[in-house]
Structures are given as C-alpha cells and as structure tokens.
Chains A and B, each alone.
Chain A
Amino acid sequence: MLAIFERDIALAFRAGGGAINSVVFLALTVLIFALAVGPDRARLAASAAPILWTAATLAAMLSFDSIFQADFEDGSLDVLAEATESLGFVAVSKAAAHWVSALLPLILATPPLAVLLGLPAAAYFPLVISLAVATPALSLLGVLASALALSLRRASILMTILTAPLLTPAVIFGVAAANAGAENSPLFGPLLMLLAAFTLLFLIAMPLAAGAALRFNID
C-alpha cells in the first residue's frame, strides 16, 4: 500500500541515521578490501567489481533486521496487519521502502568508491545496472529475514545469516553480469535477464513467505 511506503520513507529520512550508516559501512568495507588486496593497481582494478558487490551485499545485510523491528515494538505492526488484511502487501511496501531508503543510497555511493579502486571506465554502467537489478531481491529477502527475526529477542542477526545462502545466486550472477558488461561480452544481456528473473521470483515468493512468518509472529 502506498500509505505504508510513504510513511516508511518519511520515517527513514526523519531518523536519518540508517542510510548514512550503510554508506559509511560500504566505504569502510571497500577500504579494508583495498588495503588487503594491496597497491597493485591492476589487481585492484580487476577485483573492483567483486569487492563493490560484496561490500554492497554486506552493507545491505546489516540493514535487514531493523525492517520490522520498530513497528513490532511499538505496536504498529499489529495496526498494519489489521488494516490491510493482507500481510503480503505490507511486505512488498516494506521492501520497496527499504530499497529506496537503504539500498538506493548504496548504489549511488558505488561509483565514487569505484574510482578509488580504479575500476575501468567501461565497467561503471554494467556494475550499477547489475546492482540496480539485483538489489530489489536483497530487499525482498531482507523483509523475510526481518519477519522471521521477530521471534528472536536477541541475536536477530541470526535470521540474516540463515537466509544469506538464498542471496548467493544474486551475487554470482550480479558479478558475472558486471564483468560481462565491462568486457562487452554477449553474455551481458542474458545475465541481466537472469538477474531480473531471480528478482521477479523473489517478488512472488518472498512476500508470501514473509506474510506467513509475520502472521505467526504477530500471533
């Protein structure tokens, strides 16, 4: 529902911290990777797309367990569940709001950081596109992880860890697409479509699963 989406965006901007924390984490992760790879410019440039993809995924994962936490604690989740009678739609709205407020800033922060890693010019567009197509799947997975995590008073990060295996196709195909695009390989288009199909699959499956998880956690 549009109302939930708009409210979440407004709350995200009001609270401020979240997106900035994610971007800072992204930058720090890139820094650590860059230091670990070492000063060899060729190696760094070759690793740039995988590093950025990994850092973006990790930063995204950190933002998952707060998706439903606040609403659960102040009783708003009950209100949403009761008002819409369809938790699947709540899940989709939440995922959309999460993508805009948490993941879009990461995507926008990627090109400047890519400069630091010496990413070749042809690789920028494929990298950003691959992230843009795959990150909605991350938000959708995050919604499921957060919905499951409501049962865990402590260690809600556990849910993110448990559902992380489901992210692996996005990472595998995402980096492959970014690299294929950089080399102008004919695989670029098909890989992007595979990523898009994966995101669409999540769009169908995750709200269903998250809705079920929410129903059991609202109880």
Chain B
Amino acid sequence: MTDGTKPSAPAVEARDISLRRGGRTIVAGVTFAVNPGDLYLLHGPNGSGKTTLLRALAGFSRPACGSLKRAVGRTILLGYADAVKAAFTAKENIDFWGALYGAAPATVERAISQLRIFPFLNQRTGTLSSGQRRRLALCRVVISRRPIWLLDEPTAGMDAASVAAAVDLIAGHCRSGGSAVVATHEALPFAGARTITLADAA
C-alpha cells in the first residue's frame, strides 16, 4: 500500500505538537510516528483532545507548535459524524464514495461484503439504526483505499457482532501494511496495539 517512500520513513510523524481549539491550547507535547503496520489506540476523557488530534493528523488543522509531517492524500478520517446522506439509499451513498475516490468496482464490492452491508443495501439510510449507519460509514474508509486510517469512535452504536467485524477489519488492514489510529472509549480487543493516552497534566 505504500509506494515510492523509503520503507523506514513514517507516513505520519508528529514531534512535540500542540493543538489549539476555541482559543486555548488543548493538547501539548505530543510525539509519535505512524509507520506501516502500526495500530494505535487513542484514549482519554471527554474534552482531552482526541478528536482534535485526529483531525490534525488528517490535515484539517495545523499544529500551533511543533512539527507534523503527513503524507498528503494518504490519510482518511472517519469522524464522529457518519457523513451519510439520509435521503439516499446505502447503495447510492456507496456509489458516490466510489466516484469520489475513483475506486474500482471490485473495491466497492469488497467493502460491501466485508462490512456486511448487503442486508440493507437498498434501504434509505434515514431508516437505518445507528450501528448500521456506522458500518456504512466504515465502508467509505475501505473504498477510499487510503493506507492510513484515522477513526474516531468507529464502533459507536454497534452490536457485539458488528464490533467484532470492525475489529477484524482494522486489524486485517494493519496486517497488510496499512496503519490506523483509533480513538475509542471502549475496550477493543486489538492484539499488539500501541496506545496514546491523553490526560490532564496533574
């Protein structure tokens, strides 16, 4: 999934970055690197800056201090919101994402089967449960074929079976050379994952 870069160069590298939100510095002194195959779990209480950090990694904002090197166009963010159009069916949302990211039909098919979208494929997403919508939102991440996944509470609202499927999906992605940073409140059973914990300086 990586191409052209030296195998040792991390895809995303943060050095002592500080992030501001709403006029105050919300996170400071964060240093880590995301290499192919890395899986990070991002923990922290509400308001500690998990979402802000993910969005900075995704390129939505620049750090106030420090250096953040990121490979442009190689990250994909699954935010808190599903970014799913209620008036469309699941299939229509998926088709749009396929066109948006220029994905081959095979990729789209694979995403649909990996996330078991088929049961509600032609249903209007306005009528889906929150867990089903979250699975659909994860579909977009797979369709984009981008190597670095930045996921903000990817399993919100999902039942146990869906959570297990999501965990398998993310773990499999990292095993085949991709990487992921997953912000979550839940105890997700990822083997060998590293953790980033955001906490108030005592």
Q: A: which residues have CB within 8 A of B? A: 1-4, 6-7, 10-11, 14-15, 73-76, 78-85, 218-219
Partner of B79, one of A14, A78, A84, A85: A78
Q: Which residues of A contact B85 (CB under 8 A)?
A: 7, 11, 74, 76
Question: Closest Cβ of chain A: how far from B28's Cβ, in Å?
Answer: 18
Partner of A75, one of B80, B99, B101: B80
Additional 8 contacts, C-beta under 8 A, given A14-B87, A75-B80, A82-B58: A1-B100, A74-B83, A74-B84, A75-B79, A78-B81, A78-B83, A79-B83, A82-B75
Question: Closest Cβ of chain A: how far from B13's Cβ, in Å?
Answer: 19
CB pair A15 B59 closer than 8 Å: no
Please, what's the 1-or-0 string for B54-92, where 1 marks a CB less than 8 Å from any CB in chain A?
010011110000000000110111011111111110001
CB pair B72 A85 closer than 8 Å: yes
Which of chain B's residues has its CB closest to A73's CB? B81
Interface centre among B58, B80, B82, B100 (most CB of A within 10 A): B100
Partner of A79, one of B61, B72, B99, B140: B140
Interface centre among B59, B81, B86, B101 (most CB of A within 10 A): B81
Which of chain B's residues has its CB closest to A85's CB? B73
User: Secondary structure of the B side of the interface?
Assistant: loop
Q: Can you give 28 A-B contacts (C-beta < 8 A)?
A: A2-B99, A3-B99, A7-B96, A11-B85, A11-B87, A11-B88, A15-B87, A74-B81, A74-B83, A74-B85, A74-B86, A75-B80, A75-B81, A75-B82, A78-B60, A78-B77, A78-B83, A79-B83, A79-B140, A81-B60, A82-B58, A82-B59, A82-B75, A82-B76, A83-B101, A84-B100, A85-B72, A219-B55
Question: Closest Cβ of chain A: how far from B84's Cβ, in Å?
Answer: 7
Interface centre among B58, B80, B85 (most CB of A within 10 A): B85
> With A1-B100, A83-B144 as given contacts, are A219 and B82 in contact (CB-CB < 8 Å)?
no
Total contacting residues, chain B, CB less than 8 A: 27
Which of chain A's residues has its CB closest to B99's CB? A3
What is the CA–CA distance of A146 and B144 in the complex, to the nearest angstrom?
28
What is the CA–CA distance of A7 and B58 in the complex, to the nearest angstrom?
24
9 A-B pairs closest in CB distance: A75-B81, A3-B99, A75-B83, A14-B87, A79-B83, A76-B83, A3-B100, A7-B96, A83-B100
Q: Which residues of B contact A218 (CB under 8 A)?
A: 60
Question: Closest Cβ of chain B: how far from A111's Cβ, in Å?
Answer: 31
CB pair A74 B82 closer than 8 Å: yes
Q: Which residues of A contact B80 (CB under 8 A)?
A: 75
Q: Which residues of B contact A10 (CB under 8 A)?
A: 88, 92
Q: Which residues of B contact A79 (CB under 8 A)?
A: 83, 100, 140
Which of chain A's residues has its CB closest to B84's CB? A74
> With A15-B87, A74-B82 as given contacts, are A219 and B61 in contact (CB-CB < 8 Å)?
yes
Question: Closest Cβ of chain A: how far from B117's Cβ, in Å?
Answer: 17
What is the CA–CA distance of A131 and B143 in the complex, to the nearest angstrom?
41
Q: Which residues of B contact A1 (CB under 8 A)?
A: 100
Question: Closest Cβ of chain B: how far from A217's Cβ, in Å?
Answer: 11
Q: Which of B31-47 contact A (CB under 8 A)?
A: none
Q: Which of B162-179 contact A (CB under 8 A)?
A: none
CB pair A4 B72 closer than 8 Å: no
Q: Which residues of B contact A7 (CB under 8 A)?
A: 85, 96
Q: Which residues of A contact B61 (CB under 8 A)?
A: 219
Partner of B77, one of A14, A80, A82: A82
What is the CA–CA distance of A3 and B103 in the complex, to the nearest angstrom?
12
Q: Which residues of B contact A4 (CB under 8 A)?
A: 100
Q: Which residues of A contact B92 (CB under 8 A)?
A: 10
Question: Closest Cβ of chain A: how far from B100's Cβ, in Å?
Answer: 5
